[in-house]
């Protein structure tokens, strides 16, 4: 187990935005990435208003301390951003903010993937015009 | 009184028992002689102490003192046993039988021999981590020169049927080495009853110092010979050269003596504490799986998988607990424990595993504290686990034998 930065420990001990949004809501985008057998599964959800602004974000994560911290940080950053700004979040920024050790960089990659998957899900719903 | 953090990692290492330390101290300063110095009293004093320690270690195994070769630890003992036999008996064959859940000191030594033309059979254990004597017998060919199967597994505590394997080895005329690092001093382990020819031991797993170990090498029926792995002054019946670590050896001897004296009461006490830990956890949490044999295992070891949460996160959450995990996130590799994997445990449950190993200084208060802390941590982490959410939504349908 690596020595984690204070920020990782803080997010791990006081995770922001744990929970779930209604995945059937047409304004909610859900991204699930990772695999149980690899030891990481991130589920990230965004709620988007009509202007394309993210009004809420929630996560649930199966994984190590840095996977949980990266998810928590991602939800914090997502809130209040536009969909376009959200799509610009890079794993390197997450890794830098949390001072992740090299062996934990993949956790920040998963967080970026989860953001992208949630955005794609929301866009798909919006384009298809259905609520389910 | 609770000592924080609670140490439940005795299979990794143990503290030196104060009685052991006391025995060692004079041999750092006052009696500092080289045990190989035959010309003065400093040397004689050291040799005397080494001889006494050798007897104590032999006594624990029911062996004779001359059959104990001192080494730097169990890793060296395993190397010496496996390579020493392989090279010495090369004319008789080139085949070794071992198990997939052995310690890396055995597995990597076998792999190194494979590079040099040896054939190795890695027996798959059952779901409890055991191989059977029958599996061993069926793997024997006329080229087999060595069987090497550990007595107790370090991760799960599962015991292999050593006596039955010893019978097979004897009947088929194959040498039998057993790494008893985790077993000796914790459960009865007598070389004559078990029919083992070589046994690896380590001092620091039984409240002795680090950096000392031993290899039991049978002298009669049959007399086992080893190819030298460490050349030099011809110490240890020429099987392992190097000036003896006298204080360490004295400590090792005292540690074996104490382990032998307290073995029965301590095994019962630790078994009760281990059961208290498991009962406490099983009563409070669902979806916990016990890894390892339910009865044929060390008294102080409990390996549990807490489904839907990851091992490193558990250890981070339970701040005041020193344990280890089979999760990949706790090691340099990207894969979960190879031991649990060899037992057929799905990888997600490997990532969710925690090994609790209890020992001499573990108390009931420690266990009760740990049960509370672990229960709270798992409950918290499951609340933020998407897999737990899914399991509750769909109903758990996996074919896993959850502990009750």
Q: Average pLDDT in the B265-288 region?
A: 98
Q: Spell out the alpha helix ranges (H) of B176-245.
A: 191-194
Contact status of B310 with chain A (Cβ, < 8 Å): yes
Measured CA to CA, the distance from residue B271 to residue B300 in angstroms comes to 6
The pair phi, psi for residue A61, each rounded to 5°, is -135, 135
Question: B12, B310, B376, B393: which to substitute to probe chain A, counting the most A Cβ within 10 Å?
Answer: B310
Nearest by CB to residue B386, choosing from A1, A12, A43, is A43
Pairwise CA distance, residues A91 & B285, whole Å: 35
Residue A2 confidence (pLDDT): 72
Question: So what's the pLDDT on residue B330?
Answer: 60
pLDDT above 90 (res B298): yes
Mean pLDDT over B24-30 rounds to 98
B287 pLDDT above the threshold of 60: yes
Domains in chain B, CATH or no CATH each: 6-12+263-394 (3.90.1150.10), 18-258 (3.40.640.10)
B304, B289 in Cβ contact below 8 A?
yes
Query: Full-prediction pTM beyond 0.90?
Result: yes
Chain mean pLDDT for chain B: 96
- Asked whether residue B8 carries a pLDDT value surpassing 60, the answer given is yes
Pairing mode of beta strands B95-99, B119-123:
parallel
| Residues facing residue B120 across a β-bridge | B96
For B179-193, how does the pLDDT look when each residue is reduced to its tens digit (9 = 90+)?
Answer: 999 999 999 999 999
The tokens for B72 are: 């730097």
CB-based contact B291:B305 (threshold 8 Å): yes
Q: Do A59 and B329 touch (CB under 8 A)?
A: no
pLDDT of B62 above 90: yes
Query: How many CB atoms are located within 10 Å of the residue B404 CB?
Result: 9
The residue with greater pLDDT, B143 or A129, is B143
Please check whether residue A62 is in contact with residue B309, taking contact to mean a CB–CB distance below 8 angstroms.
yes
Length of chain B, in residues: 404
pLDDT at B352 over 70: yes
**Which pLDDT score, from 0 to 100, does residue B399 have?**
83
Query: Which residues from chain B sit within 8 angstroms of residue A63, using beta carbons?
Result: 310, 313, 329
* pLDDT 10s digits, A48-70: 999 999 999 999 999 999 999 99
Backbone angles phi, psi at B145, to 5 degrees: -115, -15
Whether pLDDT at A125 is above 60: yes
Cα–chain-centroid distance for residue B184?
A: 9
User: Which pLDDT belongs to residue B331?
Assistant: 61
What's the Cα-to-Cα distance from B214 to each of B167, B199, B251, B253, rounded to whole Å?
24, 8, 13, 11
Quick check: A36 and B387 CB within 8 A?
yes
Q: Give pLDDT tens digits for A95-118.
A: 999 999 998 999 999 999 999 999
Q: Which two tokens stand for residue B63?
A: 């062996």
DSSP H stretches of helix in B89-211 = 104-115, 133-139, 162-172, 191-194
- Predicted local distance difference test score (pLDDT) of residue A1: 66
CA dist., res. A36 & res. B378, Å (int): 17
Provide, as residue numbers in chain A, all residues whose Cβ is less than 8 Å from the Cβ of B334: 38
The dihedral through the CA atoms of B161, B324, B326, B381 has a sign that is positive
Position B400 scores a pLDDT of: 87
pLDDT more than 70, % of chain B: 98
Q: Is the pLDDT of residue B373 over 90?
A: yes
B332: confidence class by pLDDT, cuts 50, 70, 90: low
Give contacts of A 69-128 with B, CB under 8 A: 103
Cα gap B330→B324, rounded to integer Å: 8
Report the residue of B9, B309, B311, B312 to disrupt the A interface, i.e. the one with the largest count of A CBs within 10 Å.
B312
Question: pLDDT tens-digit profile of B70-126?
Answer: 999 999 999 999 999 999 999 999 999 999 999 999 999 999 999 999 999 999 999
Confidence of residue A128 (pLDDT cuts 50, 70, 90): confident
> Residue holding tokens 């839907």?
B308
| B22: pLDDT strictly greater than 80 | yes
B16 has a pLDDT exceeding 90: yes
């Amino acid at each position: 187990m690596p020595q984690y930065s204070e920020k990782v420990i803080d997010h791990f001990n006081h995770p922001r935005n744990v929970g779930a949004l209604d995945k059937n809501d047409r304004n909610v985008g859900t991204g699930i990435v990772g695999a149980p057998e690899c030891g990481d599964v991130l589920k990230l959800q965004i709620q988007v208003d009509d202007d394309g602004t993210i009004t809420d974000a929630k996560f649930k994560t199966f994984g190590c301390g840095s996977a949980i911290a990266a998810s928590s940080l991602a939800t914090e950053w997502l809130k209040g951003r536009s969909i376009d700004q959200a799509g610009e979040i890079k794993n390197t920024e997450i890794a830098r903010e949390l001072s992740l050790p090299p062996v934990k960089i993949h956790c920040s990659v998963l967080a970026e993937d989860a953001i992208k998957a949630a955005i794609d899900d929301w866009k798909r719903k919006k384009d298809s015009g259905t609520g389910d | 009184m609770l000592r924080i953090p609670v140490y439940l990692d005795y299979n990794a290492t143990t503290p030196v028992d104060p009685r052991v330390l006391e025995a060692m101290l004079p041999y750092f300063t006052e009696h500092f002689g080289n045990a190989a110095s035959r010309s003065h009293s400093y040397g004689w004093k050291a040799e005397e102490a080494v001889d006494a320690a050798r007897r104590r270690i032999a006594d624990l195994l029911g062996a004779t003192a001359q059959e104990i070769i001192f080494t730097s630890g169990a890793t060296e003992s395993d190397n010496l046993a496996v390579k020493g036999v392989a090279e010495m008996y090369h004319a008789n064959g080139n085949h070794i039988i071992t198990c997939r859940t052995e310690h890396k000191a055995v597995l990597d030594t076998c792999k190194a021999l494979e590079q040099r033309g040896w054939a190795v059979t890695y027996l798959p254990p059952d779901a409890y981590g055991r191989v059977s004597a029958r599996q061993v017998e069926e793997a024997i060919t006329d080229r087999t020169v060595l069987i090497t199967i550990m007595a107790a597994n370090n991760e799960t505590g599962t015991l292999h049927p050593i006596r039955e394997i010893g019978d097979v080895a004897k009947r088929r005329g194959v040498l039998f080495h057993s790494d008893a690092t985790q077993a000796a001093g914790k459960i009865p382990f007598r070389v004559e009853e078990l029919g083992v020819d070589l046994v690896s031991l380590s001092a620091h797993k039984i409240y002795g110092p680090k950096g000392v170990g031993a290899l039991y090498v049978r002298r009669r029926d049959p007399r086992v010979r080893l190819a030298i792995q460490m050349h030099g002054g011809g110490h240890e019946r020429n099987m392992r050269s190097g000036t003896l670590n006298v204080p360490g050896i004295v400590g090792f001897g005292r540690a074996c003596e104490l382990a032998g004296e307290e073995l029965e009461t301590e095994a019962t006490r630790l078994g009760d504490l281990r059961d208290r830990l498991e009962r406490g956890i099983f009563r409070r949490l669902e979806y916990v799986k016990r890894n390892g044999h339910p009865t044929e295992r060390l008294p102080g070891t409990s390996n549990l998988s807490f489904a839907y949460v990851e091992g490193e996160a558990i250890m981070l959450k339970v701040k005041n607990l020193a344990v280890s995990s089979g999760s990949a996130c706790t090691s340099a590799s990207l894969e979960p424990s190879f031991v649990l994997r060899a037992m057929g445990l799905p990888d997600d449950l490997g990532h969710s595993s925690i090994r609790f190993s209890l020992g001499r200084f573990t108390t009931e208060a420690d266990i009760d504290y740990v049960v509370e802390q672990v229960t709270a941590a798992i409950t918290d982490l499951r609340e933020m686990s998407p897999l737990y959410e899914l399991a509750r939504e769909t109903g758990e349908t996996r074919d896993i034998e959850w502990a009750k």
